[in-house]
Amino acid sequence: MTESTNTNALSEAQRHAVRQLLRISPVVDELGVRFDTAGHEIALVGGSVRDAFLDRLGQDLDFTTSARPEETKRLLSGWADSVWDVGQAYGTIGARKGKFQVEITTYRSEIYDRSSRKPEVAYGTTIEEDLVRRDFTVNAMALKLPSREFVDPHEGLPDLGRRIIRTPGTPERSFSDDPLRMMRAARFAAQLGFDVASEVTAAVQDMADRITIVSAERVRDELSKLVLAPLPRRGLTFLVDTGLAERILPELPALQLEIDEHHRHKDVYEHSLTVLDQAIELEPRLPDGGPDLIIRLAALLHDVGKPKTRRFEPGGGVSFHHHDVVGAKLARKRLTKLRFPSSVVDSVAKLTELHLRFHGYGSGQWTDSAVRRYVRDAGDLLDHLHVLTRSDCTTRNPRKAKALQRSYDELEERIERLSEEEELAKIRPDLDGNQIMDILGIGPGPMVGRAYRHLLELRMERGPMSEDEARAELLAWWAQQSPEGD
């Protein structure tokens, strides 16, 4: 980026900031006067100032103050609509005022003991001391209130214009204070599309092991933000290239399989990133429209079983038999270790296990019963499976790509047609448990479950039956069972 371009970028950013500050002026001005009258400093800070320059400031506002938490609570009482102190141990008091949510944190420094997973909080005395402890220069800018004096001791605004991620002090000091900042560098690259400064990258490479002292929950939250960012590939590539991924998500760099000169196959790592890119493009097909954590994690991890299942075949081929099943287990294990909610773990593992199911449909041999099973096995994740399967086509052969797209279009049309006729998502046997017991004259027990599953299989194979037909099938099945149910 040239000097002229930098200047233009800053000028535009400054115009954005003025517009944003005019929008939030009632809140910031009132807080500024309130704290100033009480003899305390307060400033809009960090991400709020950065986002104002980027014209993306939302309703969540961050402030820093010389006031201690108890005093902050007192000053907010009677002004805010509600106040909460769940972050008080870390110097933060939260409040809501109209449509705005504010967090006000006492000047502080946050330092990790090398054997501890929890930060030690020490209060600072000046805003300059607070800003030098911030993670990156673009987050180390402040706007003092009520004077609206702009404070930028570490040239965050020029870095914003250059679209670069640097640390206020040395990156080694910053990452020693809080190792999670190494992951935040990746996250901001993914969120903002910025480049990471070479000295920051080098420090992460040297200090990657330091991430292991950070709790799984904090790593999970940062990874989720990265994956949900507009450009996750940038952040994930940074994690892999610096060695961070090896410590937190080793299955990802493991996809960089060596390609034997006699056994050439697709680069699984690059393929997975491409699938992620394509899944993001297809997110509007999902009920919520995206960004969607489950589909993005599934796209990223769907092939993690390949390294463990790779086999070189006679004649120069390469196989990955059962990598879907192995991958589902690996994805479940990793996401569980990172403390993702069970709903996310179960969904990503299920999509990983099902992602190959479609392959074979193109031969045109799928019966209606196969389509019913596909829908039933996907359950509530059917829309996600549609997106994942379509995204998994990364062939450079246009004819092959179009053929796969036509096949999946046809499958979705068949699903839609059968769904209208049979409510596929709610497939149940034509008789329920009570009817089974009444017809067979038995009480609750294992045989009821076996009969239920038999009728469900018939339902999947044949489609809906009348009650009389289902009764006849049940009695015919029952006649073949031994009294013990063997």
Q: Is the pLDDT of residue 105 over 80?
A: yes
Q: Model confidence over 132-141: pLDDT tens digits?
A: 989 999 999 9
Q: Is the pLDDT of residue 168 over 90?
A: yes
- What is the mean pLDDT of the segment spanning 148-152? 92
This prediction's pTM: 0.80
Alpha-carbon gap, residue 292 to 408, rounded angstroms: 22
- Per the DSSP assignment, residues forming a β-bridge with 144 are 43, 149
Where b means 16+ CB within 10 Å and e means fewer, 106-127 reads: bbbebebeeeeeebeeeebeeb
Where b means 16+ CB within 10 Å and e means fewer, 256-270 reads: ebeeeeeeebbebbe
The pLDDT assigned to 182 comes to 97
H helix count then E strand count, the chain: 22, 13
More confident residue, 341 or 418: 341
Q: Is the pLDDT of residue 3 over 60?
A: no
- What is the mean pLDDT of the segment spanning 340-363? 88
Count of Cβ atoms closer than 10 Å to residue 342 Cβ = 10
The pLDDT assigned to 422 comes to 58
456: left (phi over 0), alpha (psi -120 to 50) or beta: alpha
Among residues 43, 61, 47, 21, the alpha carbon closest in space to that of 127 is found at 43
Q: Which of 29-43, 259-273, 299-313, 462-476 has the lowest mean pLDDT?
A: 259-273
Alpha-carbon gap, residue 276 to 240, rounded angstroms: 15
Among residues 191, 377, 379, 221, the alpha carbon closest in space to that of 293 is found at 221
- What is the mean pLDDT of the segment spanning 86-91? 89
Among residues 221, 225, 231, the alpha carbon closest in space to that of 196 is found at 231
The dotted CATH code for 163-248 is 1.10.110.30
More confident residue, 481 or 316: 481
Q: Model confidence over 396-419: pLDDT tens digits?
A: 788 888 888 888 888 888 888 877
At 260, the pLDDT band (50, 70, 90 cuts) reads very low
- What is the mean pLDDT of the segment spanning 191-199? 96
More confident residue, 454 or 127: 127
Q: Is the pLDDT of residue 426 over 70?
A: no
At the second CATH level, the architecture of 1-162 is: 2-Layer Sandwich (3.30)
Q: Is the pLDDT of residue 227 over 50?
A: yes
At 483, the pLDDT band (50, 70, 90 cuts) reads low
Domain parsing of the chain, residue ranges: 1-162, 163-248, 281-426, 433-479
Q: Which of 90-94, 294-298, 374-378 is the most confident on average?
A: 294-298
The pLDDT mean for the chain works out to 87
- What is the mean pLDDT of the segment spanning 188-200? 97
- What is the mean pLDDT of the segment spanning 147-171? 94
Q: Which of 96-105, 378-387, 405-414 has the lowest mean pLDDT?
A: 405-414
Alpha-carbon gap, residue 153 to 470, rounded angstroms: 78
The pLDDT assigned to 440 comes to 87
Dihedral (Cα; 108, 112, 113, 117), 10-degree rounding: 130
- What is the mean pLDDT of the segment spanning 366-381? 85
The pLDDT assigned to 1 comes to 47
The pLDDT assigned to 423 comes to 56
Q: Which of 103-112, 116-125, 159-168, 406-415 is the most confident on average?
A: 159-168
Q: Model confidence over 291-325: pLDDT tens digits?
A: 999 999 999 999 999 988 888 778 767 778 789 89
Token digits of residue 291:
């960004």
The pLDDT assigned to 263 comes to 41
The pLDDT assigned to 368 comes to 81
